[in-house]
């Protein structure tokens, strides 16, 4: 009886494995024809190009196609793209029902590039209609891109991970160990002033890629400041600056904009790569509206000493230590004030000397934003004599994407740099 039971168990496991493999071998070819896509008829034309059915711009401007009747979760997506225009052609997948959230992979198409230029390809999450490209500097890379003819793109997506191949199918050009929109499934779209053809989906064909998040270089690094408290956001129009308490000839200027006993705080923890992502908490804004929130954390030192803090931020910071102003800076993309690399939030943005006293030291930062991603990343040089205060730590699950009042924003309007 035991041998018979084992035999039937073997048959069951074999049947399940066969069913999974068979499902993974399914291939859905999506013709580049009007029936299969939602699009603006004034912007898109379906035609034959290089002897295959293709889509292209009708007016030499960017366009977007939304795939009909397909919900994508895991698997392989392949397509060909010819870069006949400048811009940021690419694919959005796992798009939410309101088209405000999803994952985005794209090519920067501005003429011939070297394969070692690390800004040719980019992955970025889209949160509330806003691309997080300037919070994801690590997810850029180079590739051999053809200025004429087809470029073949293959994305392998499994749970939280993605491998992206461009032209060279022997190795991935870009590996994303943790997709950051937090979407598990959704629709697909293509965009750009380019020509698309040969679109294929292979559901569940993940080439053995794990669905769990992969390794992050920051995971084992205890120097990152990961546990903070955050205040509610406020409107902060251009021209306004933080009013701070300053000494004067007549005593002390005590009026300030610093938080006081009436300020409400809530915990916020660093995400993958050590990023404190305020865009996820507060969503996006329209019309370049400038806004500001405060964040704070505590550092305990066993004696008075100086420590080096490496700080990445978008777009403006006012850093305070124990209620005193320490550092003010801007990181405006496209201006002489932009930091490495080109206005992105990276750990290389700023290096600040922290004058720590013995005992507790409150680090408080006012962080203003108007342009794409909103967040910081902070790391100490070393942890000698230092204890990070975990009073702010929360073990709760990540909050769901915050709903905002910006009802008209969608992936259709996403622009990248």
Q: How many CA atoms lie within 13 A of 279 on its CB side?
A: 33
Determine the CATH number of domain 22-203.
2.60.120.560
Q: Over the stretch 81-112, which tens digit does the pLDDT of each residue have?
A: 999 888 899 999 999 999 999 999 999 988 88
Helix (H, G, I), strand (E, B) or coil at 295: strand
pTM of the model: 0.88
Would you say the CATH fold of 227-407 matches that of 22-203? yes
The matching CATH number, chosen from 2.60.120, 2.20.25, 2.30.30, 3.30.420, for 227-407 is 2.60.120
| pLDDT over 90 percentage in the chain | 77
- Contact present, 75 and 180 (Cβ < 8 Å): no
Per-residue pLDDT, 144: 95
d(CA 183, CA 161): 12
More confident residue, 60 or 358: 358
**What's 371's DSSP letter?**
S
Residue ranges of domains in the chain: 22-203, 227-407
- Contact present, 276 and 377 (Cβ < 8 Å): yes
d(CA 355, CA 223): 17
Q: Over the stretch 287-323, which tens digit does the pLDDT of each residue have?
A: 889 999 999 999 999 999 999 999 999 999 999 999 9
> What's the length of the chain?
417
- Contact present, 284 and 130 (Cβ < 8 Å): yes
| Measured CA distances, 27 to 32, 78, 205 (Å) | 16, 10, 9
Per-residue pLDDT, 400: 45
- Contact present, 165 and 76 (Cβ < 8 Å): no
Q: Over the stretch 143-189, which tens digit does the pLDDT of each residue have?
A: 999 999 999 999 999 999 999 999 999 999 999 999 999 999 999 99
The residues pairing with 288 across neighbouring beta strands, listed in sequence order, are: none
């Amino acid at each position: 009886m035991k041998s018979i039971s084992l035999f039937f168990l073997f048959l069951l496991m074999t049947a399940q494995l066969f069913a999974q493999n068979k499902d993974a071998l399914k291939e859905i070819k999506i013709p580049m024809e009007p029936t299969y896509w939602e699009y603006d008829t004034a912007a898109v034309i379906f035609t034959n190009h290089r002897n295959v059915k293709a889509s292209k711009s009708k007016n030499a401007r960017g366009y977007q196609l939304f795939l009909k009747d397909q919900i994508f979760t895991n698997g392989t997506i392949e397509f060909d793209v010819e870069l006949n225009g400048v811009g940021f052609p690419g694919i959005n997948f796992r798009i939410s029902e309101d088209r405000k959230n999803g994952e985005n992979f794209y090519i920067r198409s501005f003429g011939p590039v070297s394969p070692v230029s690390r800004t040719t390809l980019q992955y970025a999450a889209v949160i509330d209609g806003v691309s997080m490209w300037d919070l994801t500097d690590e997810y850029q890379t180079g590739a051999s891109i053809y200025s004429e003819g087809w470029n073949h793109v293959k994305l392998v997506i499994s749970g939280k991970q993605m491998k992206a191949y461009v032209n060279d199918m022997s190795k991935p050009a870009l590996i994303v160990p943790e997709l950051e929109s937090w979407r598990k499934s959704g629709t697909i779209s293509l965009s750009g002033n380019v020509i698309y053809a040969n679109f294929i989906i292979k559901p569940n064909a993940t080439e053995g890629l794990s669905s769990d998040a992969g390794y992050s270089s920051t995971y084992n690094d205890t120097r990152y400041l990961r546990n903070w408290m955050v205040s509610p956001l406020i409107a902060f129009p251009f021209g306004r600056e933080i009013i701070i308490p300053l000494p004067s000839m007549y005593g002390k200027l005590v009026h300030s904009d610093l938080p006081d006993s009436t300020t409400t705080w809530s915990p916020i923890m660093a995400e993958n790569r050590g990023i404190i992502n305020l865009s996820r908490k507060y969503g996006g804004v329209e019309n370049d509206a400038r806004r500001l929130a405060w964040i704070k954390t505590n550092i305990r030192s066993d004696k008075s000493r100086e420590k080096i803090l490496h700080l990445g931020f978008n777009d403006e910071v006012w850093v305070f230590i124990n209620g005193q102003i320490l550092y003010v800076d801007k990181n405006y993309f496209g201006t002489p004030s932009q930091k490495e690399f080109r206005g992105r939030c990276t750990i290389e943005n700023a290096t600040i000397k922290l004058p720590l006293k013995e005992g507790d030291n409150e680090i408080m930062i006012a962080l203003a934003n108007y342009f794409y991603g909103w967040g910081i990343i902070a790391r100490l040089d070393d942890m000698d004599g230092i204890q990070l205060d975990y009073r702010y730590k929360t073990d709760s699950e990540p909050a769901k994407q915050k709903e905002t009042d910006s009802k008209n924003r969608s992936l259709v309007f996403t622009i990248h740099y």
